[in-house]
């Protein structure tokens, strides 16, 4: 039987003035954006960490450190593309990814179809293998005050057929 492995990714970024809000590779119209060394795409970062974790490959900070100028302002979809390549090199395929984004504002559901396409294409999987959900903090705490956005991602990956014995 081909081995299956689960992974969990969690990320949070703070809102600041003067930056675009990029989530799942989509620029969402909003009065603030997220602070970060890359495009601060918190959703895509959570997916990267879930996949790296499942494959036993550490985390996003190990592979794409925020001290490296090569990653300044980079589209996080490019990081995800690289993560997908690392998974393939480790002989793993993505079974599914499920993400919950916690944002008091803005409302995100209308942007999920485009984000889903971006993530699925970048991972090289069918859109049905990527699920996106949104929730709020019911105004409780820092996220409830709209100080930033958090994202949780879980994934299942599976060894490609026959890899185990080769």
Residue 11 touching Mg ion (CB under 5 A): yes
Write out the H or E segment, with its range, that includes residue 121. Answer: helix 112-123
Give the tokens for residue 55.
């494959």
Name the residue among 21, 22, 24, 5 with its Cα closest to residue 100.
24
Q: How far is the CB of 36 from Mg ion (least distance, A)?
A: 6
Residue nearest to Mg ion (CB): 45
Write out the H or E segment, with its range, that includes residue 87. Answer: helix 76-89
Among 32, 45, 91, 116, binds Mg ion (CB under 5 A): 45
> How long is the chain?
166
User: Using CB under 5 A, which of the segments 8-16, 65-73, 82-90, 100-108 binds Mg ion?
Assistant: 8-16
User: Using CB under 5 A, which of the segments 18-26, 44-52, 112-120, 147-155 binds Mg ion?
Assistant: 44-52
Q: How far is the CB of 152 from Mg ion (least distance, A)?
A: 13
């Amino acid at each position: 039987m081909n081995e299956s492995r689960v992974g969990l990714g969690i990320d949070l970024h703070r809102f600041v003035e003067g930056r675009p809000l990029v989530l799942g590779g989509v620029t969402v119209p909003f009065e603030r954006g997220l602070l970060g060394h890359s495009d601060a795409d918190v959703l895509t970062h959570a997916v990267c960490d879930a996949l790296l974790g499942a494959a036993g490959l550490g985390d996003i900070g190990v592979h794409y450190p925020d001290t490296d100028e090569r990653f300044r302002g980079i589209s996080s979809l490019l990081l995800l593309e690289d993560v997908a390549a690392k998974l393939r090199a480790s002989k793993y395929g993505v079974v599914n990814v499920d993400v919950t984004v916690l944002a008091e504002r803005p409302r995100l559901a209308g942007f999920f179809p485009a984000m889903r396409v971006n993530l699925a294409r970048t991972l090289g999987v069918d859109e049905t293998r990527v699920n996106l959900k949104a929730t709020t903090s019911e105004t409780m705490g820092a996220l409830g005050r709209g100080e930033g956005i958090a994202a949780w991602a879980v994934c299942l990956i599976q060894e490609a057929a026959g890899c185990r014995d080769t």
